[in-house]
């Protein structure tokens, strides 16, 4: 049987909250051994609830841990370490000396006084891949400033593109930039590992929340850079494709996402709208020019019919469209069920990595760890 892709990789995680732990969880899912080093109080997200999950604490008692912590720490081992304790620090450095990867999200320069910065650690372990997650990166005028997902969503431009055009800017409903930074972190770590296989040397991977937030502006950034026009909020509409938005139905709302003229013609047939050959609507550039008129005509037709009927008709005609699910509805979708996205390691419900390989399995048997339960301890004076 094939082994997990990253089996044998040893990762030490000195990261808290979400972006750094997301890197660690992703690597753990891929088979890496990930040792999460926490302060004696634990990662802050252990207390970011409700809801909380009560589990054995590994010492004969129980602990309440927030669902938030479980979302980003599956598959890891937890140990506690007091950086101010010389014995603890020596054991941590010995562990890092044997590691392939270190993950950290301390402020720039914050680990130097403990000898846990990259320049110090690479002397003992020149093959170490050292991934640093900060709000603004290791250099630049904002490098010393703290960064949080919400703040960076505002600074990156994405909030100015999100929400009703007549309302206030909106953040995305998950910590979107933290997650993207975590995924870029996985890419960076794996790229550095591939380079190490050639050079024999590790390196630091410098990850910035702001870089990540700006880096995924994609077509909207290109519209500004090449078109010279600053993109603005369009609510649920698309700046370059029409019709590609939410429309009303008799019993709620649903999505239409016509990506080409054929799909638009099919939609016109479903709605009995004689617009497919109208020069004002026949091509996508024309529809973009006349989006408000077209949206009103479509809304008049869709508003009189049930959304399930409309979605079924679109599916039959090859027109992309669908429901606006609640989280519960999304998790219960038959496609999500068929793909095995829901897992329950050690009886704790969760979501697996969306990666699937033809041969290599993911490692999803372990839930997020109890605090400091790793089969060994850093506590000085103890074995």
Q: What is the pLDDT of residues 78-91, one digit of tens each?
A: 999 999 999 999 99
Per-residue tokens: 328? 């519960």
* Third-level CATH fold of 10-216+339-351: Rossmann fold (3.40.50)
Q: DSSP assignment of 142-192, as one string?
A: TTTS---HHHHHHHHSTGGGSS-TTS-----SS-HHHHHHHHHHHHHHHHH
Looking at residue 383, what is its pLDDT?
35
80, 370 contact by CB (below 8 A): no
Cis, bond preceding 206 (omega within 30 deg of 0): no
Specify the DSSP class assigned to residue 106.
P
| Pairing of β 52-56 and β 342-343 | unpaired
Rounded distance between C-alpha atoms, residue 259 and residue 229, angstroms: 23
Which pLDDT value is given to residue 377?
Answer: 53
> Can you give the pLDDT at residue 381?
40
pLDDT at site 36: 98
**CB-based contact 259:320 (threshold 8 Å):** yes
Pairing of β 33-38 and β 52-56: unpaired
Helix axes 307-317, 261-271, angle to 10 degrees: 130
| Spans of all domains in the chain | 10-216+339-351, 244-325
Residue of 117, 149, 178, 211 marked active site: 178
Flag whether the pTM goes above 0.85. yes
Distance CA(24)–CA(102), nearest Å, equals 9
CA 281, CA 294: separation in Å to the nearest integer?
Answer: 8
Give the model's pLDDT for residue 221: 97
| pLDDT attached to residue 380 | 43
* % the chain with pLDDT above 90: 94
Pairing of strands 10-14, 33-38: parallel
For residue 325, CA distances in Å to 174, 254, 321, 328, 331 come to: 15, 9, 12, 8, 9
Backbone φ and ψ for 41, nearest 5 degrees, come out as -85, -15
Q: Give me the pLDDT at residue 1, please.
A: 80
User: Pairing state of beta strands 101-104 and 10-14?
Assistant: parallel
244-325: CATH, from 1.10.3720.10, 3.40.50.1010, 1.10.10.60, 3.30.1540.10: 3.30.1540.10
Active site residue 82: no
Residues of the chain with pLDDT under 70: 374-383
Helix (H, G, I), strand (E, B) or coil at 227: helix
């Amino acid at each position: 049987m094939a082994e997990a892709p990253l089996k044998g990789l040893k990762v030490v995680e000195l990261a808290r909250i979400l972006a750094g732990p997301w890197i660690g969880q992703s690597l753990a899912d891929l088979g890496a051994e990930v040792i999460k080093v926490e302060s004696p109080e634990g990662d802050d997200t252990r207390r970011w609830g409700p809801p909380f999950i009560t589990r054995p604490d590994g010492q004969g008692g129980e602990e309440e841990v927030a669902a938030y912590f479980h979302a980003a720490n599956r598959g890891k081992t937890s140990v506690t370490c007091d950086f101010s304790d010389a014995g603890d620090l020596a054991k941590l450095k010995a562990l890092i000396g044997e590691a392939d990867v270190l993950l950290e999200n301390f402020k720039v320069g914050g680990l130097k006084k403990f000898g846990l910065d990259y320049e110090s650690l690479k002397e003992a372990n020149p093959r170490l891949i050292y991934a640093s997650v900060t709000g603004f990166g290791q250099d630049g005028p904002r490098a010393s400033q703290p960064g949080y997902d919400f703040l960076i969503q505002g600074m990156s431009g994405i909030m100015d593109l999100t929400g009703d055009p007549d309302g206030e800017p909106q953040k995305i409903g998950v910590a979107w930039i933290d997650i993207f930074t975590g995924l870029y972190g996985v890419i960076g770590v794996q790229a550095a590992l591939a380079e190490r296989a050639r050079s024999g040397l590790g390196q630091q991977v410098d990850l910035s929340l702001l870089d990540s937030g700006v880096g995924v502006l994609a077509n909207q950034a290109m519209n500004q850079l090449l078109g010279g026009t600053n993109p603005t909020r369009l609510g649920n509409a698309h700046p370059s494709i029409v019709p590609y938005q939410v429309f009303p139905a008799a019993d709620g709302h649903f999505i239409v996402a016509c990506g080409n003229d054929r799909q638009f013609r099919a939609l016109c047939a479903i709605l009995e709208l004689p617009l497919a050959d109208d020069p004002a609507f026949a091509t996508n550039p024309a529809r973009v020019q006349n989006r408000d008129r077209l949206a009103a005509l479509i809304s008049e037709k869709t508003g009189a019919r049930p959304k399930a009927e409309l979605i079924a008709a679109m599916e039959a005609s090859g027109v992309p469209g669908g429901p606006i699910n609640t989280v519960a509805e999304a998790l219960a979708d038959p496609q999500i069920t068929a793909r095995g996205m829901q897992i329950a390691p050690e009886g704790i419900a969760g979501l697996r990595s969306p990666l699937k390989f033809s041969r290599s399995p993911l490692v999803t048997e372990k839930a997020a760890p109890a605090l400091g339960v790793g089969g060994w301890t850093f506590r000085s004076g103890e074995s």
